[in-house]
Chain A
Amino acid sequence: MKDRKIVYPYIPNSVGEIKEQMLKEVGAQEVMELYAEIPEHLRFKGRMKMPEPILDECSIRRHVDGLLRKNANCCDHLNFLGAGCAQHYVPAVCDEINGRGEFLTAYSSIFWADHGKWQAWFEYVSLMAELLDMDYLSLPTYDGAQAAATSLRMARGINGRTEVLLPASMHPQIQAVVRNYLKGVPDPALKIGLIDYDRTSGLLDLEDLRAKISDRTAAVLIENPSYFGIIEAQAEEIGRIARERGAEFIVYADPISLGVLAPPAHYGATIACGDLHPLGIHMQCGGGQSGFIATGFDMDHAMQFKDIVVGIQETVEDGEYGFGVVFPHKLSYFTREEGNEFTGTNTGLWAITAAVYLSLMGPKGMEEIGRTIMQRSQYAAKKLGEIDGVRVLFSASFFKEFVVNFDETGRKVEKINRKLLKAGVFGGLDLSKDFPALGQSALYCVTEIMTKDDIDHLVEAVKKAVK
């Protein structure tokens, strides 16, 4: 049986007789004749070194399942990690629609054949527009970091200025992506300035902002809530300072907070961006990220979008909805290097999933989930802060995440987290490497899914870990 020719189930024409028929049809004796254009010296002579294949489905499932079981997951552990990838509840309907083969395997087919996909995209934009109170969004980008980077490049495109100001407390990974994307801005280069934050409240240092902003500032970007979870109470004032100097005011927002927090447009943001991930998408080890960028509809902003923007219109049939692409000439698909940045496969499926999520939640759902997150995270912060030697670092109010400092316990976050892990808990993210000024601090994240019991369990585990 060793020499048995394999028929691969995903390669129907690996059946010998079929292959013979087709070869005859194309006038070749053997398949390699079809590779005539690849000269001998450019051909790979060996055989790729790979493990022996696992041919049957039953065995591959078992094999991959075995690998996945090597991971400790957030179902069998209590998870308090966030930092841009929080564990929110994913409604079953989101999974159901997300898994529909038509959406899952659709690609670039357009308005007529993929009408449903375009409508779902249009609804995604329309729902986000209500949440953000802004009317112009493209299909989502790869992740929130890309959205932030692109927003900054858009600002530069609008006013042609040469500096951007970011919070010094910015998400380190988002900042890393931003730095990479801004490096490519041609002469004169786009410089990055960092605005400090107040060590007591966690809020942005307005004096530092006033000192650093100038007529060269293309944009001031803030995260709200900040990386430390802080609700930026001075946001309106920051926006005023930015706009008075002719800069764009960009707010990186958490969409799941917007049932209770004002949308950035209400306090002066000219560009809002962020990550769709909290809206009905599983964490997937970071695979569920997807970035949004929104502005009001005006030509200055509209002309800067780099990805597909969906517009509703009529078909030749009276009263029938159809969809089209707005300003396609701004896309690199049509104008190559003359386009705004580059367009490619993005995260269209997550747009549809977010649309399902927002449709399910409605205005009340978004409001209630925001309230529950506020309550449960405040409860967790309060209880953790009551432990000897443990304190919540900043005084300003927060959403979902907060910084817990362990300096007075004499323990390192790394050690504490290892002990927590043994108790079945993923403790908060260790901030000591990225923010050494904060000492031994960790970023804790509490969402709507953590019950009082879960939080009490965490508190007990931390008590033991810091002893």
Chain B
Amino acid sequence: MGRNRKTLLRKFHQARWDEQIIFEMSVPGERGILVPQAEEAVTAEVGDGISAIPESLRRKKPAALPEVGQMRVLRHFMRLSQETMGADVTIDIGEGTCTMKYSPKVQEHLAARHPGITELHPMQDPRTLQGILEMYYQVEQFLKEVSGMDFFSLQPSSGSQGVYANASIVRAYHEARGDRNRTEVITTIFSHPVDAAAPGTAGYKVITLMPGENGYPDLGALKAALSERTAGIFITNPEDTGIYNSNIDEYVKAAHAVGALCSYDQANANGLLGIARARETGFDLCHFNIHKTFSAPHGSFGPGMGAIGVTAELEKFLPAPRVKFNGKRYYLDYDYPDSIGRVRLFLGNAPLALKAYAWIMQHGADGLREAAEVSVLNNNYLEKKVREIPGVVVKYAEGKRRLEQVRYSWEKLMEDTGVGTDAVEKRMADYGVQHYFQSHHPHVVPEPFTLEPCESYSKDDIDEFAAILRQISKEAYENPELVNNAPYNLPIHNIWMPAIVEEEKIATTWRMYKKLKGIE
């Protein structure tokens, strides 16, 4: 039958398997896999092996894991995968701030199946890791071009750990200067929560600036917050609203004027590749999310990779070891006495470095710029369509262009129909697209939703996505209950209260649940 040509809507129903919890599938005696047994000659030499374990440390009773044959285990997890909507099966424009970019399969096949990476030990002699080290080295060179920064480390396991590493570098920098009175970090409310939480974890008091008329704080507000106590500012630009702060260099100058460092959260860098860089705006540190801007998949919430970049002055504080090249060979340089130390075991997430490397190599300078330009064009195109939908409001910066994403609001829809963003979000998936991301907390924009089409989605995808939003708006005006009682076409029905805070209702494991419910 195909998608409706006029409305662009399609009939959709996600797999619903009423799938048991794996423990419910257990049949005593079944095996999912057999494991290697020691040879007779080995047993003859050392006996059963486990007698060597001191009595008090021997496991007395086998772990009560389920006993399930292999095909049933496979089928179970296959079904769970079918009850999941990854970007490989849906139009994932809805995850604004996350850049749900297409991750080319050729990269995945290389990273996940090539023994030249899957079967590498991180402590092998570096002479046997030349391919990986070369990849790390090259990705660093590429990121230097993208950002204008002088040095990079790929050790952090995610953007947030990158922000944490940068907060550690800010601390190390001030400490090295004997400046121990800098106890505060300033961020903005539309920067990711980690820009507050990671400096907080690093021991800083956090000051959060609220938006002015343009969607970002007034320069005056920043100046009022800056003082000799300020260690650094941690901000995004464009912020999660998609609004670019045109005076960002003035903000950086003001922070520098009081001796603070400036750390640029570049999770929203996708629209800027080859167009604007941390260097020109004067930042001292920055980070990129390799699993967003550089195409590694999000993997059900990781693994990720955060690349951190710094100016030459801060190089000595970067996490060690660093990947170096002596003209002949790549090697690991541990000789960084001023380094913040480590934030991650080994070399970080090597397969993600591979994916970034391959993606950048497939695009080159012009291709990266094309990705940025098209992501911004796609976003402006989507914005035009979404603004035409009844009930949608866009706050701040009226008449100005946004870059790679927009934070929208259903405030008007809520006023008109009683249907808010929670309900629309759930209804989205009934039409076969990912739910959308609303906003980080607190919800400064009422009834928010944040869309980022990036460069991976076609005009046709964007049209379909906008058509779905338009349809749900129509439904809200005609029959709000229909939207409020969604979802209908998903593996499960609605959950009244997804936040579980009542102690007596908490079951974080199957055995706790069985106990709670009195199940045998």
Q: A358-B65, A364-B31, A365-B35 are in contact. Are A41 and B498 (CB under 8 A)?
A: no
Contact of A183 among B203, B244, B378 (CB under 8 A): B203
A50-B365, A106-B84 known, 13 other contacts, Cβ within 8 Å: A22-B381, A41-B249, A48-B274, A48-B365, A73-B120, A130-B63, A184-B203, A235-B56, A263-B63, A286-B121, A321-B21, A336-B441, A341-B197
Q: Are A116 and B435 in contact (CB under 8 A)?
A: no
- Check A437 for interface membership: any CB of B closer than 8 A: no
Q: Are A179 and B341 in contact (CB under 8 A)?
A: yes
Instruction: Identify the 4 closest CB pairs spanning chains A and B, nearest first.
Output: A344-B160, A68-B116, A286-B346, A116-B83
A-facing residues in B94-132 (Cβ within 8 Å):
95, 98, 100, 102-104, 106-110, 112-125, 128-132
Q: Are A53 and B367 in contact (CB under 8 A)?
A: yes
Which A residues are CB-close (under 8 A) to B160? Answer: 342-345
Q: Are A287 and B378 in contact (CB under 8 A)?
A: no
Q: A89-B36, A107-B100 are in contact. Are A315 and B400 (CB under 8 A)?
A: no
CB distance from A172 to the nearest CB of B (A): 9
Q: Tell me the bound Cα distance from A159 to B34 in angstroms.
A: 45
Which B residues are CB-close (under 8 A) to A435? Answer: none
- Check B134 for interface membership: any CB of A closer than 8 A: yes
Which B residues are CB-close (under 8 A) to A333? Answer: 193, 440-441
Q: Are A325 and B500 in contact (CB under 8 A)?
A: yes
Q: Are A13 and B459 in contact (CB under 8 A)?
A: yes
- Check B293 for interface membership: any CB of A closer than 8 A: no
Which A residues are CB-close (under 8 A) to B360? Answer: 50
- Check B233 for interface membership: any CB of A closer than 8 A: no
CB distance from B238 to the nearest CB of A (A): 8
Q: Are A262 and B57 in contact (CB under 8 A)?
A: yes
**Which A-chain residue is minimally distant from B101 (CB atoms)?**
A10
Q: A180-B168, A315-B494, A345-B158 are in contact. Are A285 and B117 (CB under 8 A)?
A: yes
Q: Tell me the bound Cα distance from A397 to B52 in angstroms.
A: 6
Q: Are A350 and B58 in contact (CB under 8 A)?
A: no
Q: Tell me the bound Cα distance from A124 to B401 in angstroms.
A: 45
- Check B490 for interface membership: any CB of A closer than 8 A: yes
Q: Are B157 and A11 in contact (CB under 8 A)?
A: no
- Check A452 for interface membership: any CB of B closer than 8 A: yes
**Which B-chain residue is minimally distant from A129 (CB atoms)?**
B509
Q: Mark A77-105, 1 if CB is under 8 A from B, else 0.
A: 10101011101010101011111111111
**Which A-chain residue is minimally distant from B112 (CB atoms)?**
A99
Q: Are B110 and A115 in contact (CB under 8 A)?
A: no
Q: Tell me the bound Cα distance from A93 to B56 in angstroms.
A: 35
Interface centre among A28, A106, A360 (most CB of B within 10 A): A106
Which A residues are CB-close (under 8 A) to B89? Answer: 101-102
Q: Are B117 and A111 in contact (CB under 8 A)?
A: no
Which B residues are CB-close (under 8 A) to A429? Answer: 123
A-facing residues in B66-107 (Cβ within 8 Å):
66-68, 70, 73-74, 76-89, 92, 95, 98, 100, 102-104, 106-107
Contact of A344 among B194, B354, B381, B435 (CB under 8 A): B194
- Check A366 for interface membership: any CB of B closer than 8 A: yes
Q: Tell me the bound Cα distance from A289 to B351 in angstroms.
A: 12
Q: Mark B328-349, 1 if CB is under 8 A from A, else 0.
A: 0000000000001111111111
- Flag the segment in B222-230, B295-303, B469-477 that touches A: B295-303
Contact of A44 among B120, B122, B163, B276 (CB under 8 A): B276
- Check A14 for interface membership: any CB of B closer than 8 A: yes
Sample 7 A-B pairs with CB under 8 A, ordered by A number.
A34-B377, A70-B131, A108-B95, A176-B342, A183-B168, A327-B501, A362-B65
Q: Are A452 and B39 in contact (CB under 8 A)?
A: yes
Contact of A104 among B88, B362, B508 (CB under 8 A): B88
Contact of A231 among B57, B81, B167, B303 (CB under 8 A): B57
Q: Are B511 and A129 in contact (CB under 8 A)?
A: yes
Q: Are A379 and B42 in contact (CB under 8 A)?
A: yes
- Check A347 for interface membership: any CB of B closer than 8 A: yes
Q: Are A344 and B159 in contact (CB under 8 A)?
A: yes
Interface centre among B89, B108, B362 (most CB of A within 10 A): B362
CB distance from B286 to the nearest CB of A (A): 14
Which B residues are CB-close (under 8 A) to A397? Answer: 52-54
Q: Tell me the bound Cα distance from A78 to B144 in angstroms.
A: 37
- Check A465 for interface membership: any CB of B closer than 8 A: no
- Check A23 for interface membership: any CB of B closer than 8 A: yes
CB distance from B25 to the nearest CB of A (A): 9
Q: Are B116 and A332 in contact (CB under 8 A)?
A: no
Contact of B456 among A11, A180, A262, A338 (CB under 8 A): A11
Q: Tell me the bound Cα distance from A311 to B516 in angstroms.
A: 12
CB distance from A191 to the nearest CB of B (A): 15
Q: A42-B276, A259-B59 are in contact. Are A36 and B400 (CB under 8 A)?
A: yes
Which B residues are CB-close (under 8 A) to A174? Answer: 345
Which A residues are CB-close (under 8 A) to B351? Answer: 284-285, 287
Q: Are A363 and B64 in contact (CB under 8 A)?
A: yes
Q: Are B364 and A51 in contact (CB under 8 A)?
A: yes
- Check A290 for interface membership: any CB of B closer than 8 A: yes
Q: Are A10 and B348 in contact (CB under 8 A)?
A: no
B-facing residues in A275-295 (Cβ within 8 Å):
275, 282-287, 289-290
Q: Tell me the bound Cα distance from A236 to B55 in angstroms.
A: 11
- Check A460 for interface membership: any CB of B closer than 8 A: no
- Flag the segment in A57-65, A192-200, A211-219 that touches B: A57-65
**Which B-chain residue is minimally distant from A452 (CB atoms)?**
B39
Which A residues are CB-close (under 8 A) to B38? Answer: 371-372, 375-376, 379, 452
Contact of B120 among A177, A283, A302 (CB under 8 A): A283
CB distance from B295 to the nearest CB of A (A): 8
Q: Are A359 and B32 in contact (CB under 8 A)?
A: yes
Q: Are A347 and B303 in contact (CB under 8 A)?
A: yes
- Flag the segment in A135-143, A160-168, A241-249, A403-411 that touches B: A135-143
Which B residues are CB-close (under 8 A) to A180? Answer: 168, 340-343
Q: Are A259 and B62 in contact (CB under 8 A)?
A: yes
Q: Tell me the bound Cα distance from A141 to B476 in angstroms.
A: 40
Which B residues are CB-close (under 8 A) to A18? Answer: 458-459
Which A residues are CB-close (under 8 A) to B281? Answer: 42
Contact of B508 among A74, A135, A338 (CB under 8 A): A135
Which B residues are CB-close (under 8 A) to A74? Answer: 115, 119-121
B-facing residues in A168-225 (Cβ within 8 Å):
173-174, 176-177, 179-181, 183-186, 224
Which B residues are CB-close (under 8 A) to A129? Answer: 508-512
Q: Are A75 and B131 in contact (CB under 8 A)?
A: no
Contact of B361 among A51, A136, A142, A185 (CB under 8 A): A51
Q: Tell me the bound Cα distance from A261 to B49 in angstroms.
A: 12
Q: Are A42 and B492 in contact (CB under 8 A)?
A: no
Q: Mark B19-52, 1 if CB is under 8 A from A, else 0.
A: 1011100000011111111110111011111101
Interface centre among A98, A179, A359 (most CB of B within 10 A): A359
Q: Are A374 and B53 in contact (CB under 8 A)?
A: yes
- Check A322 for interface membership: any CB of B closer than 8 A: yes
- Flag the segment in B255-263, B368-376, B412-420 that touches A: B368-376
Q: Are B124 and A64 in contact (CB under 8 A)?
A: no
- Check A348 for interface membership: any CB of B closer than 8 A: yes
Q: Are A97 and B78 in contact (CB under 8 A)?
A: yes
